[in-house]
């Protein structure tokens, strides 16, 4: 069939400009390379998870950013700034998503990127970062302290370290608040739930919400909720103690390795965001995290990192305790994709039965029958 091209309503201008769709609130000119494609991620209603959990659950799918995490919003602003201010090298301290995101965005803009990694970095994570060929420097010492030691170099060296809660990053992170509120318009969600580690993301999102409120664009600010892993929960500990000051905690091992900061640089600010908006902070066990990751896949169709699944685990406990009402609309921010790691270690066991191809018909019939009875 011959369909005339004119029959389609082509509108090249309609394509989302993502996080740059409100240029007046960002102090940058147009972004170079993949920096332009950060943000603009879907917000979808999760009907089956809503039924399961008992509230109106919306998923903000940040896994669709260029390197699979919300960090691209902050890398996009940082790299754009560097490209426009003749900064030769951006630096970051990271063993994972932050490094990958900074390196990828810098590569596409022709800005140098220096990544400081600890000697304990797992090889599979290093492989992900190395694809973009940043300059990698393995540092032996105290990784927690490296965050601050690197920032101190900004004053003397020709490199600009943009670590987790750098102001340049926060400008990018705040665009998530603009986007969610625009996607929800004319309503405002009752609650916004994020995982928290350094507290940089939460700080940026809070900044965006405050700007929107001050501009009169939203009537009420959603309550901000943060979820941590039990093995690294300094913000939750301070919240539960009724304190406004986050003290460092001993950090243990957790499946949610992207949120394992025991001494968060923006912990106090993230906690203030929660208190000012009337939200809460909690922490969840690895078993609850893996259960939520599975529910997101099997009832939501989304493959996320354990660090993102904590949101759904936290929402479940808040709905059970009545902190979040069954009639409330809740946005879970799914910060990172699960495609960077293995899916189900038990996949071999998940294969039900083996059959010979000659028995295909009866095999398929039996499988369909067992699906019905599930
Ligand atoms: C970095 C990261 C977080 C935590 O963000 P902070 O700004 O450190 O609080 C959460 N989820 C994923 C997937 C991340 O990569």
pTM for the complete prediction?
0.92
Q: Is the pLDDT of residue 1 over 50?
A: no
What confidence score (pLDDT) does residue 358 get?
Answer: 86
Q: Which residue's CA is the closest to the ligand 1 atom numbered 1?
A: 258
Residue 152 in contact with residue 180, Cβ under 8 Å? no
pLDDT of the residue at 121: 87
Per DSSP, what are the bridge partners of residue 113?
90
**Mean predicted confidence (pLDDT) in 34-56:** 96
- What's the 3-state SS for the chain? CCCCHHHCCCCHHHCCCHHHCCHHHCCCCCCCHHHHHCCCCCEEECHHHHHHHCCEEEEEEHHHCCCCECHHHHHHHHHHHHHHCCCCEEEEECCCHHHHHHHHHHHHHCCEEEEEEECCCCHHHHHHHHCCCCEEEEECCCHHHHHHHHHHHHHCCCCEECCCCCHHHHHHHCHHHHHHHHHHCCCCCCEEEEECCCCHHHHHHHHHHHHHHHCCCCCCCCEEEEEEECCECHHHHHHHCCCCCCCCCCCCCCCCHHHCCCCCCCHHHHHHHHHHHCCEEEEECHHHHHHHHHHHHHHHCCCECHHHHHHHHHHHHHHHHCCCCCCCEEEEEECEECCCCCCCCCHHHHCCCCCCHHHHHHHHHHHHHHHHHC
The Å distance, Cα 336 to ligand 1 centre, comes to 8
Measured in Å, residue 301 CA sits from the centre of ligand 1 at 21
pLDDT greater than 70 at residue 88: yes
| Mutate-to-test residue for ligand 1 from 125, 304, 336, highest number of ligand atoms within 8 A of CB | 336
Cα separation, 199 vs 193, in Å, equals 13
pLDDT of residue 336: 98
Q: Which of the four pLDDT bands, split at 50, 70 and 90, describes residue 296?
A: very high
Length of the chain: 374
β-strands 191-195, 223-229: how paired?
parallel
CA distance 276 to 204: 15
Give 279's pLDDT tier (boundaries 50, 70, 90): very high
Q: What is the mean pLDDT of residues 113-121?
A: 90
Q: Is the pLDDT of residue 4 over 60?
A: no
> What is the whole-number distance in angstroms between the Cα of residue 196 and the centre of ligand 1?
6
Q: Whose CA is nearest to atom 2 of ligand 1?
A: 258
Ligand 1 closest atom vs CA 198? 8
- Taking 50 as the threshold, does the pLDDT of residue 80 lie above it? yes
Q: What is the pLDDT of residues 175-184, one digit of tens each?
A: 999 999 999 9
Q: Report cis status (omega within 30 of 0) of the bond before 268.
A: no
Confidence tier at 23 by pLDDT (50, 70, 90): confident
| Atom of ligand 1 lying closest to residue 270 CA | 9
Residue pair 233/270 in contact (Cβ under 8 Å)? The answer is: no
| pLDDT tens by residue, 205-228 | 999 999 999 999 998 999 999 999
Residues 248, 276, 246, CA angle at the centre, nearest 5°?
A: 5
CA distance 240 to 280: 9
Per-residue pLDDT of 319-366, as tens digits, reads 999 999 999 999 999 999 999 987 566 777 767 677 788 888 888 888
Tell me the per-residue pLDDT of 141-175, one tens digit each, with 9 for 90 and over.
888 888 899 999 998 888 999 998 999 999 999 99
Task: Assess contact for 175 and 22: CB atoms under 8 A.
Answer: yes
Residue 13 has pLDDT above 70, yes or no: no
Instruction: Please report, in angstroms and rounded to a whole number, the separation of the first and last CA atoms in the chain.
Output: 44
pLDDT in tens, 56-71: 999 999 999 999 999 9
Lowest mean pLDDT among 6-15, 55-64, 236-245: 6-15
pLDDT recorded at residue 36:
94
Q: Work out whether strand 89-93 and strand 43-45 pair parallel, antiparallel, or are unpaired.
A: unpaired
| pLDDT for position 367 | 81
- pLDDT of residue 372 exceeding 90: no
């Amino acid at each position: 069939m011959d369909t005339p091209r004119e029959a389609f309503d082509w509108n090249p201008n309609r394509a989302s400009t993502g996080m740059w769709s409100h240029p007046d609130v960002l102090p940058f000119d147009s972004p170079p390379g993949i920096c332009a494609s950060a943000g603009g991620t879907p917000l979808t209603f999760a009907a089956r998870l809503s039924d399961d959990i008992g509230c109106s659950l919306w998923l903000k799918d940040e896994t669709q950013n260029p390197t699979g995490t919300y960090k691209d919003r902050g890398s996009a602003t940082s790299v754009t700034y560097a490209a426009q201010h003749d900064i030769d090298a951006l630096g970051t301290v990271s063993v994972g998503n932050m490094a990958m995101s900074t390196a990828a965005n810098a590569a596409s803009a022709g800005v140098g990127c220096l990544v400081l990694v600890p000697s304990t970095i797992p090889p599979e994570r290093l492989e992900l970062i190395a694809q973009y060929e940043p300059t990698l420097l393995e540092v032996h010492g105290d990784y927690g302290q490296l965050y601050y030691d690197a920032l101190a170099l900004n004053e003397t060296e020709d490199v600009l370290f943009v670590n987790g809660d750098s102001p340049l990053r926060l400008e990018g992170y705040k665009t998530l608040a603009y986007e969610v509120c625009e996607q929800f318009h004319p309503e405002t969600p009752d609650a916004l739930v994020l995982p928290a580690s350094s507290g940089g993301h939460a700080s940026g999102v809070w900044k965006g919400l405050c700007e929107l409120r001050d501009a009169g664009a939203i009537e009420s600010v959603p309550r901000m909720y943060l979820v941590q892993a039990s093995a690294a929960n300094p913000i939750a500990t301070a919240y539960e103690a009724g304190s406004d000051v986050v003290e460092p905690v001993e950090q243990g091992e957790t499946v949610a390795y992207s949120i394992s900061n025991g001494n968060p640089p923006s912990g106090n600010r993230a906690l203030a965001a929660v208190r000012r908006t009337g939200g809460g902070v909690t922490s969840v066990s690895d078993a609850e995290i893996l259960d939520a990751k599975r529910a997101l896949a099997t009832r939501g169709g989304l493959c996320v990192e354990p660090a993102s699944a904590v949101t759904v685990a936290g929402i479940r406990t808040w709905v059970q305790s009545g902190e979040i009402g069954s009639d409330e609309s809740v946005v879970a921010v799914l910060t990172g994709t699960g495609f960077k790691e293995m899916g189900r270690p038990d996949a071999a066991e998940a294969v039900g039965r083996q059959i010979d191809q000659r028995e295909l018909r009866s095999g398929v019939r039996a499988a369909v029958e067992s699906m019905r009875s599930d």
